[in-house]
Amino acid sequence: LQYLLNTALYMLEPWERLLFSTLLFAILSTALYSALVFL
Amino acid sequence: LNSRGVWLTYIILVFVLHFILLSIPYITTSVAWTLTTTIHNLCNYYLFHVVKGAPWETSDQGRARRFTFWEQIDDGVQWTGTRKFLQIVPVVLFFIASFYTKYDKTHFLINLATMLLAVVPKFPIFFGVR
Amino acid sequence: EEFEETPTWTAVVTVLGYAILSALGWLRDFLRNVGLEEKKTSHDPNPKDFVPLYQSYECFYTRNLYTRIRDVFNQPIASVAGAKVDVMERVSDDFNWTFKFSGKKIPSINLGSYNYLGFAENSGPCSNQAIKSIEKYGLTTSSTRHELGTQKYMVELETLMAKYLSVEDCIAFGMGFATNALNIPALAGKGDLIISDTLNHTSLILGARLSGAVIRKFNHNDMKDLETELRNAIIHGQPRTCRPWKKILIIVEGVYSMEGSLCKLPEIIALKKKYKAYLYVDEAHSIGAIGSHGRGVVDYWNVSPDDIDIHMGTFTKSFGSAGGYIAGKKSLIDHIRIHTHSGCYCPSMSAPIVYQIISALSIIMGLDGTNDGQKRIKQLARNVRYFRRQLVDMGFIVYGNDNSPVVPVMIFMPAKIAAVNREMLKRGCAVVTVGFPATALTESRVRFCLSAGHTKEMLDDALKAMDEVGHLVSLRYSKRNPP
């Protein structure tokens, strides 16, 4: 609930929440991957 | 745009954009900075100098409808804090991008062109010019 | 008065939230344009083959932000808006694009209506008088005062109100908003200057614009800024011609219902005397609600009513009725009687409305032989201080003056506007949550309106609910008063 409220996803429809969370997860995982490759 | 935390958020959004680009494995740092600068300047130009009116119903009987976002800031008063901040960001991004691309000519020209696109319409002389 | 600053990180997360909502709003608009999204307003703001009236961007927020949480706004009620209220439950299966009534009523403590002295009742002396007046006068004259003249009961109301305010004369109107919007044009015009508080109500802004006078703003309750505006106005005179202003009118409100703040009347009166300006005080939220006799900020600050040139107020918030009044010198009121726009555009006040006010006013003034009025005024003052103190102790950021009957608690983030409203309704409290553009972008809030009709048990239930919701939604932002 804190995640939904602070990112304002609380107001969105389920598919929009899923879309945004997937995007966020994709960004963080590529960042992690790049950091590993780089390091 | 005068509210507390908006400028900081603006800077955070620019860095999040850069962070996203940087985390794509095949993009080098210089390309990431040039892409960051270019995307920022194009969005900045579209948002502040193309879109007109306000995204909500205003109580000014539609007066704002003819003005771009940039012209509506601080009721049109020039050289306010917010305007200076929005004027400086593209220039700072240009310097950072030039530095990280080691002043490569191609990158330099791309960054310069988009920086001018974002900075020139903000001059007071272009206020209300169509 | 306290206006604790928005914590920086909260402000950043709030603006980021709006950025995310805007980005997804653009995505929705794109899907609408390509035809993938069928949820849209049934009426197209720009119907085909007509001149486009709206920029499509203009309804962006309404379409993509307001619609998503509009189940918490404009909720229909099924009872009198008293200390308790029955909220009609609405259900939507398409994310608030359409609603259906479930037929259920949710009994709740009413913390959203303006009912400061608890006169919004459908029983008791006020409603009896109102009902009786219908039998005697009917419901309406279906005409304006300039056309069909003034009813006897209007004279009775205006005389009583003038006596209550200890001024020479008073004139009453059928609508609070119109009292400002349609009378300021009769008071100011070309060659005049109106100096207005930045947070003044829309009706004052509209009235000032309609008047054609030049309008200057000063920061909310900032006396230095007001003096600077006055000095500049007098030194530089009118724009271009530099002629002196014909008159300068300072417009302020007694209680700012969104901030919960009170105007600094003694300082404003000192400035108006020093610079020979006129003073218009809108006591919509303060008349009946503050001051030892309920006479508003004039009573609260103990200043002389003669120091204020134009007293304005409404009968909506403290008298359980509707309409507004302007009071002051007889010459002023005579001028308004002739030149008011509402004298020829608005129908006269309805008899039951007037008798509700007259009986409430009689009770407040003690003319009914009881001290019920004084009891209500004291009860409201106690409720206000108790409720606000508890909220501050819970660690919320509470804006405004300790004695203001409106208690705004800061929410900041847009999603929390809906969450607080829904969770409080689940816990049996009907509250009003307010967001952009009615407030600044990063200053959404829940605005508690207290009433003399609230018992301590009701307030304790509401505080308990707010404590739970404040924890669930994490609203304890205050650094000055940690929980």
The chain-wide mean pLDDT, for chain C, equals 93
Binding partners of C (≥3 Cβ pairs within 8 A): A, B
d(CA C325, CA C332): 13
Are C61 and C141 found together in one domain?
no
Min Cα–Cα distance to chain C from B24, Å: 21
Percent of chain A with pLDDT over 90: 79
Q: Residue C119: inside a domain, yes or no?
A: no
d(CA C122, CA A22): 54
Q: Which of C96, C121, C138 is nearest to C421 (CA)?
A: C96
CB pairs under 8 A between A and B: 18
Are C138 and C267 found together in one domain?
yes
Q: Which of C130, C170, C137 is nearest to C152 (CA)?
A: C137
Strand extents, DSSP E, C321-367: 324-328
Test C20 with A20 for CB contact under 8 angstroms. Answer: yes
The boundaries of the domain holding residue C318 are: 125-365
Q: How confident is the model over B20-67, as pLDDT tens digits?
A: 999 888 889 999 999 999 999 999 999 999 988 888 877 777 778 889
pLDDT at C255: 94
Q: Residue B95: inside a domain, yes or no?
A: yes
Are C152 and C296 found together in one domain?
yes
Closest residue in B to A27 (Cα–Cα): B20
Q: Residue C1: inside a domain, yes or no?
A: no
Strand order in the sheet with C278-282: C169-173, C324-328, C310-314, C278-282, C247-253, C192-197, C214-218
- Choosing from C318, C348, C365, the residue where a domain stops is C365
Of A1, A6, A13, nearest to C413 by CB-CB distance is A6
Half-sphere exposure of B128 (CA within 13 A, CB side): 5
d(CA C450, CA B72): 38
Q: Which of C51, C69, C9, C180 is nearest to C434 (CA)?
A: C69
Query: Could you tell me the pLDDT band of residue A37, with boundaries at 50, 70 and 90?
Result: confident
CB C100 within 8 A of CB C90: yes
C250 DSSP β-pair partners: C195, C279
Binding partners of B (≥3 Cβ pairs within 8 A): A, C
Considering only CB atoms, which chain A residues are within 8 Å of C24?
12, 16, 19-20
Q: How confident is the model over C420-470, as pLDDT tens digits?
A: 999 999 999 999 999 887 888 889 999 999 999 999 999 999 999 999 999
Q: Which of C216, C214, C212 is nearest to C195 (CA)?
A: C216
Percent of chain A with pLDDT over 70: 100
Are C146 and C248 found together in one domain?
yes
Test A11 with C68 for CB contact under 8 angstroms. Answer: yes
Are C281 and C157 found together in one domain?
yes
Q: How confident is the model over C291-329, as pLDDT tens digits?
A: 999 999 999 999 999 999 999 999 999 999 999 999 999
Helices (H), B1-130: 6-22, 29-49, 69-72, 81-100, 105-119
Q: Which of C453, C397, C407, C399 is nearest to C431 (CA)?
A: C407
Structure tokens at C260: 């919960």
Are C353 and C307 found together in one domain?
yes
Strand extents, DSSP E, C36-148: 84-91, 100-110
Residues of C near B (CB-CB distance < 8 A)?
A: 5-6, 8, 10-12, 14-16, 19, 22, 55, 57-62, 202, 205-206, 436-437, 440-443
